[in-house]
Amino acid sequence: MTAFEYAPAPESRAVVDIASSYGLFIDGEFTEGSGGSLKTINPATEEALAEVAVADESDVDRAVAAARRAQQKVWGPMPGTERAKYLYRIARLLAERSREFAVLETLDNGKPIRESRDVDVPLASAWFFYYAGWADKLDHAGFGVDPQPHGVVGQVIPWNFPLLMLSWKIAPALAAGNTVVLKPAETTPLSALLFAELVQQAGLPPGVVNIVTGAGATGAAVIGHADVDKVAFTGSTAVGKSIAKQIAGTRKHATLELGGKAANIVFADAPIDQAVEGIVNGIFFNQGQVCCAGSRVLVEESMHDELIDRLKSRLGTLRLGDPMDKNTDIGAINSARQLQRINELSDAGEAEGAVRWSADCAIPENGFWFPPTVFTQVSSAHRIAREEIFGPVLSVLTFRTPAEAVAKAHNTPYGLSAGIWTEKGSRILWMADRLRAGVVWANTFNKFDPTSPFGGYKESGYGREGGRHGLGPYLVEGSTR
Amino acid sequence: MSERLDVRKTYKLYVGGSFPRSESGRTYEVVSADGAFLANAAQGSRKDARDAVRAARAAQPGWAGATAYNRGQVLYRVAELLEGRRAQFVADVAAGEGLRTARAEAAVDAAIDRWVWYAGWADKVAQVAGNANPVAGPYFNLSSPEPTGVVAVVAPQRSSLLGLVSVIAPVILTGNTAVVISSQDRPLPAITLGEVLATSDVPGGVVNVLTGKTAELAPVLASHMDVNAIDLAGAVEADGVTWGELEALAADTVKRVRRPPTDTEPTWLTDASLNQVLAFVETKTVWHPKGT
């Protein structure tokens, strides 16, 4: 049989114009920051992309003041129909400039262009399109007649889906009539800054959207600002807990979207080819740097060997390398720090007695890379079965009965997502009833949609994003704290 | 002939469907609004609180697994029994809260009616708080509310029955189980409510009632690893602990927190709300592909 080699198919980066330095976006304009600057790099090459201003407390203060003015004078009083039209504009502009955003996202984040082009950016646009339509229908959302926005919302987002997480945060907040101060992640600020330019193109009134870049201290300043009414955070459970503690005793509301350790549960009667694709998509999408990643496979014992064989042979076909290449399946890990965490937990897996297998693929010389890896003979007590790795590392465990599968699935502090693979409908519903997870994918995995609520049980956080449910936390009457 | 001596009740805790004394052996004196001795109530300990959580956890899957229709019937039955004990509750509330009979009757009536109102939500909340989602693809997609698990309830300090009912009923109607810390100084209606629950069809462990010092018990529940959520209604005007301190403790386990609605205790006369129910549910969204 002839083996066909892939020719390189690199996406052009000419479509995007990266400035050498960026300021903060406050009150409709780019301004200097007072907290110094940081460099953002391309994790696939370690090349510096741009210098980005760091917002200190005084900058955050300016941003919050601008947001407050805009909320009281312009955005709050504005009829919902007008707010809706602004959000529709943003959705359309994102679609028009989608290639530019995709390329920039891939350069700054390291994710394959195939994913930023086909998932991140289209979904970001769809998110604005969906919530736009809510802006003048809030009376019908089930949160009472004439529900009110909180006011100023402080939002802090992670580096794994920079633009998409921005849209999850900003679209519902604005639809509800709030204004926002958003802090993108330290390692991936560029798509948020390009979004700020798009906000200018949309003619959005100054102060409605403010983007302050920086690291943890900037985020803490946003969350802690006395004039912020509501906070929304996506990131690690450790930081989420510190935020919950920081706002304790105040009247600030919070939505927390934290870590996960999803179980992908495969029964012996599962449609095997679909299950293998689902598992691969579940843990190797975005290099496994996904809070709802299916990082544990629980497979019915009789099916274990066959599944592992098929999984290994499928993983052998994945292409790791240049994220800008349209054929690439596995891109770069986002940062040296994240790679170190993945290495540390994988080493712990081996040290604790699990068996490690990695796909045989060439690792580029520069940048941060980790090959698709599967651990077998994993026990529930191993760290790799309990802790979030946030990388392309899969832990495989077995079970004999549905009840045992549920018990093992629950053996983490998290409860974000779960997967079920079986052809038996009644078993799907039985399992779905019992799994304590906010999103249950049955015979599919890692599907997202602006109409569909997303968010966790237990230490995976609280509040939902997406759908009608995702609107509630941005309205006083829809907040249950 | 001498007057008949009344038989007084020994007030104990209500945990796992039984009425144990505090394992600590401690009691504290409960007096009426004008200072007269009413009873010695059990002074619950940290160990009692942990036992109550264990009982609540054990009862939770069964209670959540009952049909919504069944939970609604079981809770409505509680209202029937409350009505039968109306006179006793009126006397307890009047003595404990220092109310004239007419005001005490109004509070008890409102409590019974509120219980009926919440009971009716059991088989409706999924229809109001859940919905299908029209995702852009060939998928079935449904969001439904589910109980969050074990909920700690710090019951209001002043309103010893109406306030209590207003925070218990919305928690358990969806299938949560509750560990309730009664009003510290007015605990007697809470234990009498426990007697009602024990003789109703509510399974043991679904509601557990601790009496004692709020400042001693509430932090144990706020930081307990196996408690999913906490209602801090009674942490305003509590002795020796603030709701902010309890919320901070709850942060370590990412508990769902229902803050006190206001910085002083409300009258609870108008405080029936669906949000009180939704504060203690999770939204679960299930996807499945469509195909032939």
User: B122 touching A, CB under 8 A?
Assistant: no
Comparing C-alpha atoms, which of B148, B245, B194, B193 is closest to residue B52? B194
Query: What percentage of chain A has pLDDT greater than the value 90?
Result: 98
pLDDT digit string (tens) for A189-232?
999 999 999 999 999 999 999 999 999 999 999 999 999 999 99
Confidence at residue B2, expressed as pLDDT on a 0 to 100 scale: 77
pLDDT at A4 over 80: no
Band of pLDDT at residue A282, cut at 50, 70 and 90: very high
pLDDT at A98 over 60: yes
Which one of the listed residues A115, A186, A257, A459 is annotated catalytic? Answer: A257
CB A315 within 8 A of CB A359: yes
Q: Which domains does chain B have, with CATH numbers?
A: 27-289 (3.40.605.10)
Point out which residues pair with A53 in neighbouring strands: A37
Residue A17, class by beta-carbon neighbours within 10 Å (0-12 exposed, 13-18 middle, 19+ buried)? exposed
Residues of B in contact with A237 (CB under 8 A): 254
The total of other beta-carbon atoms located within 10 Å of residue B192's CB is 23
CB A463 within 8 A of CB A444: no
Which residues of chain B carry a pLDDT beneath 70? 1
DSSP symbol at A222:
H
Q: How far apart are CA A154 and CA A212, in angstroms?
A: 10
To the query of whether residue A361 is one of the catalytic residues in this protein, the response is no
Band of pLDDT at residue A481, cut at 50, 70 and 90: confident
Confidence at residue B199, expressed as pLDDT on a 0 to 100 scale: 97
Single-letter amino acid, residue B277: V
Q: How far apart are CA A353 and CA A166, in angstroms?
A: 40
Residues of A in contact with B244 (CB under 8 A): 248-250
Q: How far apart are CA A325 and CA A116, in angstroms?
A: 12
CB A126 within 8 A of CB A152: no
Cβ contacts of A202 within 8 Å, gap of 6 or more: A86, A89, A90, A93
> How far does B278 lie from chain A, in Å, by closest CA?
7
CB A420 within 8 A of CB A442: yes
State the residue for tokens 């230490």.
A459
Question: CA angle, corner A248, sides to A244 and A249, nearest 5?
Answer: 165
A374 membership: H or E segment, kind and range: strand A373-376
SS3 of A40, please? strand
Structure tokens at B251: 């942060």
The total of other beta-carbon atoms located within 10 Å of residue B203's CB is 17
Q: How far apart are CA A462 and CA A453, in angstroms?
A: 12
CB A396 within 8 A of CB A376: yes
pLDDT digit string (tens) for B181-215?
999 999 999 999 999 999 999 999 999 999 999 99
DSSP symbol at A301:
G
Mean pLDDT for all residues in chain A? 97
Structure tokens at A186: 């330290």
DSSP string over B123-148: TTHHHHH-EE---SSSEEEEEEEEE-
Distances (CA, A) of B5 to A202, B36, B85, B130, B192: 83, 17, 22, 56, 21
CB A142 within 8 A of CB B128: yes
Residues of A in contact with B287 (CB under 8 A): 439-442, 444, 447, 452
ipTM for this model: 0.97
Distances (CA, A) of A176 to A4, A106, A170: 53, 31, 10
Comparing C-alpha atoms, which of B141, B251, B25 is closest to residue A447? B141
State phi, psi for A392 to the nearest 5 degrees: -80, 60
Confidence at residue B146, expressed as pLDDT on a 0 to 100 scale: 98
Point out which residues pair with A183 in neighbouring strands: A156
Distances (CA, A) of A303 to A46, A398, B180, B251: 42, 9, 46, 41
To the query of whether residue A257 is one of the catalytic residues in this protein, the response is yes
A440/B289 CB distance under 8 A: no
Residues of B in contact with A449 (CB under 8 A): 133, 135-137, 141
pLDDT digit string (tens) for A385-422?
999 999 999 999 999 999 999 999 999 999 999 999 99
Mean pLDDT for all residues in chain B? 97
Q: How far apart are CA A178 and CA A166, in angstroms?
A: 15
A426 membership: H or E segment, kind and range: helix A425-434
Select the residue of B141, B251, B275 nearest A248 (Cβ to Cβ).
Answer: B251
Confidence at residue B271, expressed as pLDDT on a 0 to 100 scale: 81
User: B243 touching A, CB under 8 A?
Assistant: yes
pLDDT at A156 over 90: yes
Confidence at residue A1, expressed as pLDDT on a 0 to 100 scale: 52
Q: Which domains does chain A have, with CATH numbers?
A: 21-258+458-478 (3.40.605.10), 263-442 (3.40.309.10)
pLDDT digit string (tens) for A293-326?
999 999 999 999 999 999 999 999 999 999 999 9
Q: How far apart are CA A401 and CA A409, in angstroms?
A: 12
Band of pLDDT at residue A5, cut at 50, 70 and 90: confident
Assign residue A165 a region: left if phi > 0, alpha if psi is -120 to 50, beta otherwise?
A: alpha
Confidence at residue B1, expressed as pLDDT on a 0 to 100 scale: 61
Q: How far apart are CA B123 and CA B110, in angstroms?
A: 22
pLDDT digit string (tens) for B27-78?
999 999 999 999 999 999 999 999 999 999 999 999 999 999 999 999 999 9
Radius of gyration of chain B (CA): 20
Confidence at residue A318, expressed as pLDDT on a 0 to 100 scale: 95
A245/B288 CB distance under 8 A: no
A37 membership: H or E segment, kind and range: strand A37-41
Query: What percentage of chain A has pLDDT greater than the value 70?
Result: 99
